[in-house]
Amino acid sequence: MNKVIKKTGVGIVARKSLGYTQLEWTCPRCGTRNPGAEKVCLSCGGPQPEDVKFEQPLEQELISGEEAQQIAARKPDIHCGFCGTRNPAEAETCRQCGADLKEGVQRKAGEVVGAFSTAAVEDVACPACGSPNPAAARYCRTCGSPLTKTPPPAPAAAAPKTRSRSAMLVIAAVLIVAILGCLLVIGGVFNRTSEVVGTVESAGWQTRLVLEALQPVERADWRENLPGGAQVLGCEYRFAFTSDEPQPVATEVCGTPYTVDQGTGFGEVVQDCVYQVYAEYCRYSILDWTEVDTLTLSGSDSNPVFPQPQLSSDQRIGSRQAVYQIVFRADGETYTYETSDESLFRQAQPGSRWILDVNSRGRVVRVQPSR
């Protein structure tokens, strides 16, 4: 009996913060890549546009510690709805034109920018002169022109696979309907019965009871589910359930780190983790009622009785069962009918007349006294 101790929602994961990384934006006027925190283009002085899209630099760096805490405290800047100037999140009026910033647009945050990696990056060729430059360089060290960036590969955020699941469901539904249809047709053929009048030739009964005794039995379960009186034979740690929160005995399983846009020019580097929790699973011994014998009696009269064994103090009677057999004679044929209905059996006096429902395979499916 594997029992799940606790289940948590499937698909929920813990998002773990690893730190922050500075993003960059490309100037729409001159194509220069600028650090995310810069408010104006380092090349042409143009403003960071309202619909700025922050991207990951080719060479990524993780910021942690106190500096990361300061970055985390920042809120996305607000662009003035009137003049477009970027203002700190706390400002109420534009520092450039004095307009009310309630009308302003707060920069978007929360989008996944892409997978985070600090792996070494190859040199980038200058689009103007072709000479190689370090990935972090913003200007060509040969000709001085801005090094525009080719778009990075698509983010690593995996799309869930839901392909053709609905198609499978439709096929399954069609199959079930078809099978049910066949069963109905077959059932219709075999359920057809005909009535026959017969007389009881003989009747018999068989009774059976199970004798149980208290005996040690071996079982296994999670330690917290062990019943009172269990004698533990041995335990091992086993995977019990998946949790979205850290647990005392658990293996952390984390996905690829990725960067989430904070709207401040920085991105938070996070990782989605789940915790595979382990718990003690124990074999134990306990006294329990166990089947030790089966006693039967049979007779061909109309007074069925059960065996009546002498019980010792650690014994008891378990399940009881009686089966009655009535043999009919009808149109020169012999039909045997089995039932657990004692009152029906007691009416089956030899020579009495009964109506039998016989199916296409010659089996008696129902009997009733003929009056």
Interface residues toward Zn ion, by CB under 5 A? 27, 29-30, 32, 41, 43-44, 46, 80, 82-83, 85, 94, 96-97, 99, 126, 128-129, 140, 142-143
Smallest separation (angstroms) from Zn ion to the CB of 53: 15
What are residue 254's DSSP bridge partners?
A: 273
Which is closer to Zn ion, CB of 126 or CB of 277?
Answer: 126
Which is closer to Zn ion, CB of 101 or CB of 367?
Answer: 101
Smallest separation (angstroms) from Zn ion to the CB of 71: 24
Which is closer to Zn ion, CB of 41 or CB of 269?
Answer: 41
Smallest separation (angstroms) from Zn ion to the CB of 138: 11
Smallest separation (angstroms) from Zn ion to the CB of 105: 12
Q: Measured between alpha carbons, how far is 199 from 330 in angstroms, rounded to an integer?
A: 7
Smallest separation (angstroms) from Zn ion to the CB of 27: 3
Which is closer to Zn ion, CB of 145 or CB of 325?
Answer: 145
Q: What's the farthest any 2 CA atoms get from each other in the chain?
A: 119
**What phi, psi does 137 have (nearest 5°)?**
-65, 140
Smallest separation (angstroms) from Zn ion to the CB of 122: 17
Q: Measured between alpha carbons, how far is 240 from 103 in angstroms, rounded to an integer?
A: 53
Which is closer to Zn ion, CB of 99 or CB of 273?
Answer: 99
Which is closer to Zn ion, CB of 115 or CB of 140?
Answer: 140
Smallest separation (angstroms) from Zn ion to the CB of 44: 3
Which is closer to Zn ion, CB of 44 or CB of 179?
Answer: 44
